[in-house]
Amino acid sequence: MFTIAFVGAGSVEFTRQLLRDVLSFPELAGATISLHDIDPERLEVAAALARHTAPGVDVRTSLTRRAALEGADVVVNMVAIGGHAATLRDFDVPESFGLRQTIGDTLGIGGIFRGLRTFPFLDGLAADMLAVCPDAWLLNYTNPMAMNIQYLATVAPRLKAVGLCHSVHWTVHDLSELVGVPFEEVDFLSAGVNHQAWILKWQHRGRDLYPALDEAIAADPELARRVRVDLYRRFGFYPTETSEHSSEYVPWYLRHQSEVDRLRIPVRDYATISAENVATYEKTRDALAAGEEPPPLVDEAVEYAPQVIHSLVTGQRRTIQVNVANDGLISNLPHGAAVEVPATLDRLGVHPHRVGALPRQLAALNRSFLNVVDLTVAAAVEGNPDHVRHAALCDPATAAALTPDQITGLVAAMTAAHGDLLPAALR
């Protein structure tokens, strides 16, 4: 019997989506589903949705994490420490200092503090897994992805952990649609870091598709009014995350109102998305309580976790993108840093591919990104609050917008705002 544990199952829509995709494979129909959340109401809603999605499947719930993990073969992590309230603090406090953010979950001051409040949870999760399911694979969806994967690789190197994100899939899918080529017929190679990886090769039956993209951009001036297209035109390779994300990993866009307007950058975008997620949860909860059908899922969603699980059970070989510690996978990025590369899946596990060196200009941008990741992880591992300030000072978008004294004040304000959610040594 194969057991899949969902940690942070109170993210009910995502749990439901993953379950639907997992159980669409006939070979996984007999799996045991173990759901854990610290919020009793959300856990109850998640369980009701799971049973609605997969009648007859063995669904278990526990408010105790270690009990939920007992005997798991795969653990899917999708927690959001602090929830919507913490997300709002990630936006409101920096905004009071004059700092703009769009997503705030990966890099920047929002990403730094999201990472810092997630690390204590990861400590406990790793300890529990090594105690009760040491051979299980941890499939992490929680952001900030690079920080979380590098932290786990540092503090729990025996844990079999990989980070999963669908941004590369949808980037190539949407680019292929833009140039009129079936996605299923496209070959591509992508590598870099999560939310700032690059489409290094993109071909249709051996034909390079970048010239077709250039033609599409030339034919539609509105396409040029996007951050990722602007980055592509300046650096030569297309980035794999949305313009909203990409705008806050570099210093050139958010500090200038003219660039915000030119590139139509939606400031505070994730604060709105987070509120919409809460509203969707409440609508789902109320529908189930009334005996009504929950809101429909988005049919086109594609996630990697079900594919990983299916390959572990059946041995079917497939290639996806994963986030893992850099052990020579990308030769011109730091050893041990969390990188995003292709990987082969089979019954034995996840096997990352060695990509070699990135084009110099892309590696340079990734190293700026990874400097912030490394300092944030070091702050927690070493218990050194100075490194929190160092991370913020080295963050491209933060450093472009604020003076050093303002950054120091912002870090102090964020530390006070998040309080007990942070590692004790950093409060």
Exposed e or buried b per residue across 302-325, where buried means at least 16 C-beta atoms within 10 angstroms of its C-beta = ebbbbbbbbbbbeeeeeebbbbbb
Q: 414 φ, ψ to 5°?
A: -65, -40
3-state helix, strand, coil in the chain (%, to 5): 50, 15, 30
Q: What is the mean pLDDT of the chain?
A: 95
Summarize pLDDT for 263-277 with one digit per residue, the tens: 999 999 999 999 998
**Encoded amino acid at 173, one letter:** H
Q: What angle do CA 107, 90, 224 make, to 5 degrees?
A: 50
Binding residue per annotation — 133?
Answer: no
Q: Which member of 166, 173, 256, 353 is catalytic? A: 166
- Across the range 392-413, mean pLDDT stands at 98
Cα distance between residue 421 and residue 401, in whole Å? 27
- Across the range 80-88, mean pLDDT stands at 95
Taking 90 as the threshold, does the pLDDT of residue 114 lie above it? yes
Cα distance between residue 264 and residue 277, in whole Å? 23
Taking 70 as the threshold, does the pLDDT of residue 298 lie above it? no
- Separation of CA 399 from chain center: 23
pLDDT for the residue numbered 32: 93
- Across the range 156-167, mean pLDDT stands at 97
Summarize pLDDT for 11-65 with one digit per residue, the tens: 877 888 888 888 889 999 889 999 999 999 999 999 988 888 777 889 999 999 9
Taking 80 as the threshold, does the pLDDT of residue 233 lie above it? yes
Fold type of domain 3-83+105-165+295-352: LDH C-terminal domain-like (3.90.1820)
Q: Is 256 a catalytic residue?
A: no
Binding residue per annotation — 77?
Answer: no
What three-state secondary structure class fits 405? helix
The contacts found for 154-157 with CB under 8 angstroms, 24 or more apart, are: 154/336, 154/377, 154/381, 155/122, 155/123, 155/126, 155/381, 156/122, 156/126, 156/127, 156/130
- Separation of CA 301 from chain center: 15
pTM: 0.96
Taking 80 as the threshold, does the pLDDT of residue 300 lie above it? no
Q: How confident is the model at residue 174 (pLDDT cuts 50, 70, 90)?
A: very high
Binding residue per annotation — 387?
Answer: no
Cα distance between residue 293 and residue 48, in whole Å? 11
